[in-house]
Amino acid sequence: MVRLTAKEAKYRFGRLIDMARFGLVTIEKHGRAVVVVVAVEEYERLKSIGSDRSVKAPRSSEKK
């Protein structure tokens, strides 16, 4: 996983987009990870995994 400071991400936004297309990019602010940037294809894949799990298992807040 690539790590960038918020300042680097701001001033090199095009590069950030290119890097996110190939893997996760963590953005750090004041030395602490605050967000992760992912390509839309990876986001859709992760979202579908989450949807599959929510269909199979009831949420803990749901009554049985």
First-residue to last-residue Cα distance in the chain: 40
Q: Take residue 53 and report the two structure tokens written for it.
A: 């799990």
Question: Is 42 inside any structural domain?
Answer: yes
Span 2-22, pLDDT tens digits: 999 999 999 999 999 999 999
Question: Is 64 inside any structural domain?
Answer: no
Cα–Cα distance, 32 to 6 (Å, whole number): 10
**Main-chain dihedrals φ then ψ at residue 51, nearest 5 degrees:** -65, -40
Q: How many domains does the chain have?
A: 1
pTM tops 0.85, yes or no = no
Cα–Cα distance, 19 to 25 (Å, whole number): 7
Contact between 2 and 23 (Cβ < 8 Å): yes
Question: Is 13 inside any structural domain?
Answer: yes
**Main-chain dihedrals φ then ψ at residue 15, nearest 5 degrees:** -65, -40
23: containing domain: 2-56
Span 19-62, pLDDT tens digits: 999 999 999 999 999 999 999 999 999 999 978 776 665 656 65
